[in-house]
Amino acid sequence: MAICEAIILAGGLGTRLKDAVPDVPKCMAPVNGKPFLSYLIYHLQLQGITYFIFALGYKGEMIEEFLQNDYPSLFYKLSYEEEPLGTGGAIKKALKITKEKSVLIANGDTLFKIDVPLLTGFHTLSGSNCTLSLKPMKNFDRYGLVEVDEDNVIKSFREKQCYESGCINGGIYALHRNKFLDEDLPKKFSFEKDYLEVYYNKRRMFGLMQDEYFIDIGIPADYERAQEELKS
């Protein structure tokens, strides 16, 4: 079954971008005159996402105003954190207002142009609790490594260090709503550290490689790169 709902994690502070951009949520950093978030919304709409939940925190009212002005016909809801909940806590809270059995999760400061129907088809057929989109990379040290076996079952998460090649977690997930909410997880937690890295060998978790365009604007060098690469 196709996934048509997406939770966008849009509560990031953007502390490492402070010198490069004004004081805005990370996903609102301007790229060629428009917020980075608009590129993500556009790509997901092309991929069949019709309903959005924006998980908001730091200066969330700026994102709320942007959506009201620029996306008056978009179907969306807002999930506000009263206090920082971590990525996991933000997802857990936002899932309460989703309707479908499985939901797409995306980071608001990352654009990974995956084939969403390919991800969701695999996720559904495999009976997965969570399916990660993996991006193959060469010569990197900013990300940890995700290893899978021949059936795409996640074998391990490896720490950040210099790697010649391998797959990274691209920050887009297909998540089974009820299986996730049934876990005994706290109110505040990291989705990556406290869920993925703790449960991957206890639950059905898969990683699907897609060698598509990827950019994460979390550091100034990649934010500058986005200005060039997203011109078209």
The pLDDT, as a whole number, for residue 226 is: 96
What is the largest distance, in Å, between two alpha-carbon atoms of the chain? 47
Domain ranges, residue 70 = 5-229
Q: What mean pLDDT comes out for the span 20-31?
A: 84
How does residue 58 score in pLDDT terms, banded at 50, 70 and 90?
confident
Using CA atoms, how far residue 159 sits from 8, 77, 110, 173, in Å, is: 25, 35, 20, 20
How does residue 214 score in pLDDT terms, banded at 50, 70 and 90?
very high
How does residue 17 score in pLDDT terms, banded at 50, 70 and 90?
low
Q: What is the 3-state secondary structure (H, E, C) of 208-223?
A: EECCCCEEECCCHHHH
Where residue 157 sits, what CATH number does that domain have? 3.90.550.10
pTM value is 0.95
Q: Which helix (H) or strand (E) holds 177?
A: helix 177-181
Per-residue pLDDT tens digits for 77-100: 999 998 999 999 999 999 999 999
The pLDDT, as a whole number, for residue 5 is: 98
What is residue 105's three-state secondary structure?
Answer: strand
Number of domains within the chain: 1
The pLDDT, as a whole number, for residue 185 is: 96
Using CA atoms, how far residue 231 sits from 32, 85, 131, 165, 222, in Å, is: 7, 34, 31, 28, 14
